[in-house]
Amino acid sequence: MTVKQLFDKQDNLKNDQKFAFEGWVISNRGNNKLRFLVVNDGSTVNNLQVVVKGEEANEKFKIDDINLGTSIKIEGILKLTPEAKQPFELVADQVQIINLADNDFPIQKKEITLDFLREIPHLRAKTAIFKAVMLVRSRLMLEIHNYFQERGFLNISAPIITSNDGEGAGETLIVNDGSKDLFFKQKAFLGVTGQLHAEAYAQVFKKVYTFAPTFRAENSHTSRHLAEFWMMEPEVAFCNLKEIIHLADDMLKAVIKNTIKKQAAEIKYLDELQGGNLLDTLDKFLSKDLTILEYKKAIEILKENKKEFEEQNIYFGLDLASEHEKFLAEKIVKGPVAITNFPKEIKAFYMYQNKDKKTVAAFDLLAPGIGEIIGGSQREESYDKLAKRLAELKINQEPLQWYLDLRRFGYVGSSGFGLGFERLVMYVTGISNIRDVIPFPRVAGSIKM
Ligand code: 4AD
Ligand code: MG
């Protein structure tokens, strides 16, 4: 049994029940007659307090030697402690040291900054904050799979190595620059999106999704960009922009709601760490319909407030900067907002061209504190319009010919979106730097371990 299971059924725990577990020591205090070991077994951010009573036991088990980070195995009797901070503790019968940590274990009780921890990604998960974040991250991933699987979506493993720049933005990490003597004997990239491949499968299975690592050579040293991140991309046939925005909203709410419930201890820990704002923010999102705002209207609002921004040249056609996105979500809507119908010049080639000839049927879902967490669109149906758009953008049609050809064989329209998984983890944990919500971050200029 794990410590999480103990906490989950704490209302039905019996006094004097036997319990044995293995874990790592978080703190060791007391004297040679009465010792308190705080131990974590990795199943929850909650620790279990272990009491070692009596001089004899303390001597026999060498409790005084146990320093932070040491791994131990403990057997004992659970005692309910309704008056204390923790609901129960374990009075030890047996303590076995498995591996004493060296004295230079870098994670000590004193304040440690996230900046410092970024230098030791192999050890930072041993802190409470990273335990909480990683448990929430894992749950969010499971809940996303559950959401789509329960609704009959096919999970498609889109390729990671591809011969396409699926966004046409030229931000690919290169596997092979096209030299003949290399493995693929042609240009090969790490995928920037699984969307185009998912679109092919949506034309068979109607509802599909991918969930995979994604790679972008964006030279942005920001708190919300990674070179390797995870993206979840659903693609739905017979579906338009309005319907896909609704799916995004419904999916986010279901996933967040279940995560709050199932990782209650971790969310509570993170909430307290942030002065009690996190749960309020999430609850507010869960209880409100998503606000939808036309790009055109968003530009008017930004113009009226241009004194707020560093970039004050605001016009129809502007690619919104992070400061604009955050302003709309934080100050205007005070919650997540979907911006729709962007000018075609600032969006990808595959998006459905609206009748106004100026905009495309796209949406970005912006969240307070982060900005864009989802980008999506209805896809262009017309072979000719796609070919024309590629030519306008000077993107070579040849590698994308297969994608255009999809339109020739019983094609029906489809829509989809990409959720930046780490940005969702940021939103749900309240962590402000994307490097702290992925185990081993890869960013421009740095690839540790
Ligand atoms: O808006 P993007 O570029 O959309 C696509 O890739 C489409 N193919 C999605 C689709 O329609 N199927 O990326 C989607 C999301 C963004 O909203 C953002 O949350 C995240 O991916 N993202 C990044 N996350 C971390 N680091 C980066 N460098 C990211 N670039 C995009
Ligand atoms: Mg985008």
* Concatenated DSSP letters of 88-138: EEEEEEEEEEEEPPPTT-S--SS---HHHHHT-TTTGGGSHHHHHHHHHHH
Contact 50, 37 (CB under 8 A): yes
**Number of helices followed by number of strands (H, E) in the chain:** 13, 18
Residue 182 scores a pLDDT above 80: no
Average pLDDT over residues 259-279: 96
Q: What pLDDT, on the 0 to 100 scale, is given for residue 336? A: 94
Enter the tokens of residue 207. Answer: 């509802």
How is residue 187 annotated by DSSP?
A: -
Q: What pLDDT, on the 0 to 100 scale, is given for residue 21? A: 98
Enter the tokens of residue 330. Answer: 């934080």
Enter the tokens of residue 249. Answer: 């909203």
Closest C-alpha residue for ligand 1 atom 31: 420
**Better-predicted residue by pLDDT, 185 or 279:** 279
Taking the C-alpha atoms of residue 418 and residue 235, their distance in angstroms, rounded to an integer, is: 9
Closest C-alpha residue for ligand 1 atom 29: 225
Nearest ligand (C-alpha, residue 366):
1
Average pLDDT over residues 65-87: 95
Residue 280 scores a pLDDT above 90: yes
Average pLDDT over residues 91-108: 95
Average pLDDT over residues 17-28: 97
Residue 437 scores a pLDDT above 80: yes
Instruction: Report the nearest atom of ligand 1 relative to the CA of 225.
Output: 26
Closest Cα to residue 226, out of 369, 375, 439? 439
Ligand 1 and 367: CB distance under 6 A: no
pLDDT band at 421 (very low <50, low <70, confident <90, very high): very high
Task: Name all contacts of 219-225 with Cβ < 8 Å and 24+ positions apart.
Answer: 219/444, 220/444, 221/443, 221/444, 221/445, 222/322, 223/432, 223/433, 223/434, 223/435, 224/322, 224/370, 224/371, 224/423, 224/426, 224/434, 225/434, 225/443
Ligand 1 and 372: CB distance under 6 A: yes
Closest C-alpha residue for ligand 1 atom 5: 418
Contact 328, 366 (CB under 8 A): yes
pLDDT band at 255 (very low <50, low <70, confident <90, very high): very high
Q: What pLDDT, on the 0 to 100 scale, is given for residue 377? A: 98
Residue 176 scores a pLDDT above 90: no
Distances (CA, A) of 200 to 99, 380, 412: 52, 13, 11
Q: Kindly give, in sequence order, each residue whose CB lies less than 8 Å from that of residue 189, ignoring residues fewer than 6 positions away.
A: 161, 162, 163, 164, 165, 172, 173, 174, 175, 215
Per-residue pLDDT tens digits for 398-412:
999 999 999 999 999
Collapsing DSSP states into helix, strand and coil, what is residue 56? Answer: helix
Least confident of 166-175, 289-298, 367-376: 166-175
Average pLDDT over residues 297-319: 95
Average pLDDT over residues 394-399: 94
Ligand 1 and 167: CB distance under 6 A: yes
Ligand 1 and 233: CB distance under 6 A: yes
Ligand 1 pocket, mutate which of 216, 231, 235, 437 (most atoms under 8 A from CB): 231
Contact 13, 89 (CB under 8 A): no
CATH architecture of 3-99: Beta Barrel (2.40)
Which residues have beta carbons under 5 A from ligand 2 (an ion)? 375
Domain residue ranges of the chain, discontinuous segments joined by +: 3-99, 124-436
pLDDT band at 157 (very low <50, low <70, confident <90, very high): very high
Rounded to a whole number of angstroms, the distance between the first and last alpha carbons of the chain is: 33
Residue 181 scores a pLDDT above 80: no
Mark residue 240 as left, alpha or beta (left: phi above 0; alpha: psi -120 to 50; beta: remaining): beta
pLDDT band at 236 (very low <50, low <70, confident <90, very high): very high
Enter the tokens of residue 44. Answer: 């929850």
pTM surpassing 0.95? yes
Q: In what order do the strands lie in the sheet with 173-176?
A: 161-162, 188-190, 173-176
**Better-predicted residue by pLDDT, 408 or 185:** 408
Collapsing DSSP states into helix, strand and coil, what is residue 270? Answer: helix
Contact 251, 147 (CB under 8 A): yes
Averaged pLDDT score across all residues of the chain: 95
Q: Which residue has the tokens 């669109």?
A: 377
Residue 213 scores a pLDDT above 90: yes
Least confident of 183-187, 197-201, 343-347: 183-187
Select 124-436's CATH number: 3.90.230.10, 3.30.930.10, 3.40.1180.10, 3.30.200.20.
3.30.930.10
- Label residues 201-239 b or e (16+ Cβ within 10 Å = b): bbbeebbbbbbbebbbeeeeeeebbbbbbbbbbbbbbeb
Instruction: Report the nearest atom of ligand 1 relative to the CA of 375.
Output: 1
Whole-number Å distance, alpha carbon 231 to ligand 1 midpoint, is: 7
Helix (H) or strand (E) holding 259: helix 241-262
Residue 56 scores a pLDDT above 80: yes
Two domains, one topology: 3-99 and 124-436: no
pLDDT band at 24 (very low <50, low <70, confident <90, very high): very high
**Better-predicted residue by pLDDT, 444 or 138:** 138
Q: How much of the chain exceeds pLDDT 90, in percent?
A: 89
**Dihedral of the alpha carbons of 111, 117, 119, 124, in degrees to the nearest 10:** 130
